[in-house]
Amino acid sequence: MWHGALVVFRFELRRTMTLNRVAIWLLLVLFPVFIVSVMKYYEPEIEGEIPRDAFNSRQVRVQRGLAWGEEEHDGDGDESGPAPHPRGSAAEAEPNPMDPIWGFVFFGLIPEVITLFGLLLWVPPLVHAELEGRTWIYLAVRPRGRVSVLLGKYLTAITWTALAGWASTTACVLIAQPGCALRLWGTMVALVTLACLAYGAIYSLIGVWLHRRAMAIAVSYTLIFEFLVSFIPAVINKFTVQYRLRNLLFTWMDWWDLVPIEASTLFLGSERAWVHVLILCGIVVAVLGVAAQVIQRREYATIAEA
Amino acid sequence: MIELQNVTKLYGTVIGVNDITLSLAPGAYGLVGPNGSGKTTLLNLITGQLRPTIGRVRVLGQSPWKQDQLLRAIGLCPAVDVLYPNVSALEWVSYLVELHGLSSAEARRRAETALREVGMESTMRRSMGTYSLGMRQRTKLAQAFAHDPSLLILDEPFNGLDPIGRHEMTEVLRRWVRSGRSLILASHILHEVEAVSPSFLLIRGGRVLASGPPDEIRALLADVPNEIRIRCNRPRLLACEFVESGLSESIRFLDQGETILVSTRSPVAVFEQLPHWLAKFDLEVFEMRSADDSLQRLFSSLMRIHRGEA
């Protein structure tokens, strides 16, 4: 099965080397770069607009002589607050009031926009494109051919999208030059990778299950479930990928103190980073497993037969 | 080799194949039927792309729907055209052969051999976007047998081929059959199948109407009345002569009595007698359509037998 997946991956990756697809890839890379470049140009004005007490920032905390994890308001170890987070590396970084701004912009543009766009272009039509191109039957009559197509196309999509995300992150960090450049870069690269793996798996399931309307359903799922439901202050938001990524951003960047404790309780969680990573990996394995079962057992009529 | 037991496939309320039971030993078979007769559905059931709604399918003793490792032994050339504009035939066939678990180098070697065999030697490295329909057909055929299966299934493999191409493909398939491997060739053109396969399966309306070598099918049709349609200036007189001679099974008047439709079990005798009547009664025949050996007639006759009308 994995041999077949790698064969499909190699073939599909070679097929991406067309002018159109490279142009789309470049567009995805350059879109955040453009936004960040404009912001960088107006950085002094943006920085001037930030109220001094806009965030209960690290700088403020340091000035107040508070340690990380130590709560200013009560300090009684309330269970509803975030768990103690890894610390150390950021403490040595040069504090910069623009850092969280860059972080949120990068997060919003790269793992949330570039990744989703890239994956939406590739993954939902994974079966329908073969049916429409009348190439499905040629692949489906190979041993484990159907699952090989699923996994091979999934690998191609996440590679193609992750490369765009990593390139864009690198360019954006170089342009913005935030105080915690290396840490922000590392966090974004990790988030892009996890977003690609998780969203790619979910779109794959949509692509094999509801292949005729896969694109529309994937877009609807993203807008309704990942963007809307993930901000509903209820247990349901824990089922979204967005919730996990958001938590990882705050955890890995040590930005818990940037939001009021009430907001962090509602929109963020108290789990440790490895729990989020484990849950995301679990989603990938479970969803791909279901997708493999669906693709193996589904009768896909060709367009002509339909 | 292939066993179907009361197999029915429904697409919603549309019947794809209808209660087919057959058992095929290894060998070459022509699956003949008009467009929409259920040939592709039957092939999809045999290759495990469809699950029968009712009944059981076994290929080489296994269920193709459940055991997709069985596909190593099957090569399929579907009827649908294929086009990867930016990929060469060699790349595409190598890719498909590699999916059978072969190494990249071995897959490429086999793809080259197969493409050479179908006459694509000089063009196999060109992108498929530049191919004619005939070249794509040859490429499709090459991908079907490049991994060396024991059963080759071809769905309308001659579509788009010029006469020379058809002849060359026929030779390739004859060599395949002579090598002792199995073949199922689906087509709606009888003589194409006859040139390759010694045995037929005739399918229409999702049912297998007849099977066996051509002689058996001809024997089956021997007792089926032929229909001859004659438009002349004195149809009633001609009808009387048919009745008196005892050559006709039945006679119907069509086109407000200007045409007669004669059903006969002795078409040769009718064609011998007709010129005598024309001369004797000074008849003017404007149009005469004889039942011929076309596929349509063959299937119409078989359908009548199937329905118990003949």
Q: How far is B17 from chain A (nearest CA, A)?
A: 13
In 3D space, the residue among B80, B186, B106 whose CA is nearest the CA of residue B93 turns out to be B106
pLDDT at residue A115, as a whole number: 93
Q: Identify the contact set of chain B against chain A, taking CB-CB distances under 8 A.
A: 11, 40-41, 47-51, 68-72, 74, 76, 78, 80-84, 86-87, 91, 95-96, 98-101, 143
Q: How far is B143 from chain A (nearest CA, A)?
A: 9
pLDDT at residue A69, as a whole number: 44
Report the pLDDT averaged over residues B143-171. Answer: 87
For residues B40 and B58, what is the distance between their CA atoms, to the nearest angstrom?
17
Residue B80: which of A134, A142, A299 has the nearest Cβ? A134
Residue B100: which of A143, A300, A302 has the nearest Cβ? A143
For residues A248 and A281, what is the distance between their CA atoms, to the nearest angstrom?
14
Span of B32-36, B40-44, B165-169 with lowest mean pLDDT: B32-36
**Taking CB atoms and an 8 Å limit, are A3 and B101 in contact across chains?**
yes
Residue A238: which residues within 8 A CB-CB, separation 6 or more?
A: A269
For residues A13 and B52, what is the distance between their CA atoms, to the nearest angstrom?
36
Residue B71: which of A3, A15, A142 has the nearest Cβ? A142
Residue B72: which residues within 8 A CB-CB, separation 6 or more?
A: A143, B100, B101, B147, B149
B contacts of A12 (beta carbons < 8 Å): none
Six-digit token string for A166: 């990593």
**Taking CB atoms and an 8 Å limit, are B68 and A144 in contact across chains?**
yes
Q: How far is A134 from chain B (nearest CA, A)?
A: 6
Residue with the two structure tokens 């272009």: A121
Interface test with B, best of A14, A142, A148 (most B CBs within 10 A): A142
Question: Nearest residue of A to residue B72 by CA position?
Answer: A143
Six-digit token string for B208: 């297998």
In 3D space, the residue among B11, B5, B36 whose CA is nearest the CA of residue B188 turns out to be B36
Six-digit token string for A302: 């060709």
The C-alpha angle A246, A164, A197, rounded to 5 degrees, equals 50
B248-302 per-position pLDDT tens digit: 888 999 888 888 988 887 777 888 888 898 888 888 888 887 655 555 566 666 6
Burial class (CB in 10 A: 0-12, 13-18, 19+), A35: middle
A contacts of B50 (beta carbons < 8 Å): 299
Domains located in chain B, CATH noted = 2-211 (3.40.50.300), 223-306 (3.30.70.100)
From residue A230, alpha-carbon distances to A237, A241, A243, A244, B233 in Å are: 4, 8, 6, 9, 86
The C-alpha angle B125, B126, B130, rounded to 5 degrees, equals 155
Backbone φ and ψ of B123, nearest 5°:
-115, 0
3-state secondary structure of A101: helix
Six-digit token string for B206: 């999702």
Task: Tell me, letter by letter, the H, E, C secondary structure of A45-61.
Answer: HHHHHCCCCCCCCHHHH
B contacts of A8 (beta carbons < 8 Å): 99
**Taking CB atoms and an 8 Å limit, are A139 and B96 in contact across chains?**
yes
A contacts of B49 (beta carbons < 8 Å): 137, 140-141, 299-300
> Which pLDDT tens digits describe chain A residue by residue (306 residues)?
788 899 999 999 888 888 888 999 999 999 999 999 998 888 777 777 766 555 554 444 444 444 444 444 444 444 444 444 443 444 444 557 778 888 889 999 999 999 999 999 989 999 988 888 888 899 999 998 899 999 999 999 999 999 999 999 999 999 988 888 899 999 999 999 999 999 999 999 999 999 889 999 999 999 999 888 888 877 788 889 999 999 899 888 887 777 777 667 667 777 888 999 999 999 999 999 999 999 998 888 654 454
Q: Higher-confidence residue: A88 or B230?
A: B230
For residues A87 and A21, what is the distance between their CA atoms, to the nearest angstrom?
42
Q: State in Å, rounded, how far the first CA of chain A is from the last one.
A: 29
B contacts of A141 (beta carbons < 8 Å): 47-49, 71, 74, 76
For residues B183 and B240, what is the distance between their CA atoms, to the nearest angstrom?
52
pLDDT at residue A286, as a whole number: 96
Residue A20: which residues within 8 A CB-CB, separation 6 or more?
A: none
Structural domain spans, chain A = 2-42+99-297
**Beta-carbon-side half-sphere exposure of residue A176 (alpha carbons within 13 Å):** 32
**Taking CB atoms and an 8 Å limit, are A137 and B83 in contact across chains?**
no
Report the pLDDT averaged over residues B197-209. Answer: 83
Span of B26-30, B99-103, B204-208, B293-297 with lowest mean pLDDT: B293-297
Span of A225-239, B72-86, B189-203 with lowest mean pLDDT: B189-203
Residue B80: which of A141, A299, A304 has the nearest Cβ? A304
Strands ordered across the beta sheet of B207-212 = B74-77, B151-155, B182-187, B28-32, B200-204, B207-212
Burial class (CB in 10 A: 0-12, 13-18, 19+), B266: middle
In 3D space, the residue among A169, A189, A171, A164 whose CA is nearest the CA of residue A29 turns out to be A164
For residues B138 and B146, what is the distance between their CA atoms, to the nearest angstrom?
12
B contacts of A139 (beta carbons < 8 Å): 96, 99
For strand B200-204 and strand B28-32, is the pairing parallel, antiparallel, or unpaired?
A: parallel
Q: Does position B70 have pLDDT exceeding 90, yes or no?
A: no
For strand B2-11 and strand B54-59, is the pairing parallel, antiparallel, or unpaired?
A: antiparallel
- Most distant pair of Cα atoms in chain B: their distance: 79
CB atoms under 10 Å from CB of B130, counted, come to 10
CB atoms under 10 Å from CB of B159, counted, come to 17
Report the pLDDT averaged over residues B80-106. Answer: 89
Residue B96: which of A3, A142, A300 has the nearest Cβ? A142
**Taking CB atoms and an 8 Å limit, are A145 and B99 in contact across chains?**
yes
Q: By the 8 A CB rule, do A224 and A232 touch?
A: no
- Could you list the beta-strand ranges (E) of B150-195: 151-155, 182-187
Residue A135: which of B51, B82, B91 has the nearest Cβ? B82
Report the pLDDT averaged over residues B208-213. Answer: 79
Q: How far is B83 from chain A (nearest CA, A)?
A: 7
**Taking CB atoms and an 8 Å limit, are B80 and A137 in contact across chains?**
yes
A contacts of B100 (beta carbons < 8 Å): 142-143
In 3D space, the residue among B73, B205, B76, B207 whose CA is nearest the CA of residue B149 turns out to be B73
Is A16 in CB contact (< 8 Å) with chain B? Answer: no
For residues B88 and B124, what is the distance between their CA atoms, to the nearest angstrom?
6
B220 pLDDT tier (thresholds 50, 70, 90): low
List the 129-168 stretch of A: residues with Cβ below 8 A of B: 133-135, 137-146, 148
pLDDT at residue A65, as a whole number: 43
Question: Nearest residue of B to residue A297 by CA position?
Answer: B65
**Taking CB atoms and an 8 Å limit, are A137 and B84 in contact across chains?**
no
Six-digit token string for B126: 């060109």
pLDDT at residue A87, as a whole number: 39
Residue B68: which of A143, A299, A305 has the nearest Cβ? A143
Is A293 in CB contact (< 8 Å) with chain B? Answer: no
Interface size A-B, in CB pairs within 8 Å, comes to: 71
For residues B192 and B215, what is the distance between their CA atoms, to the nearest angstrom?
16
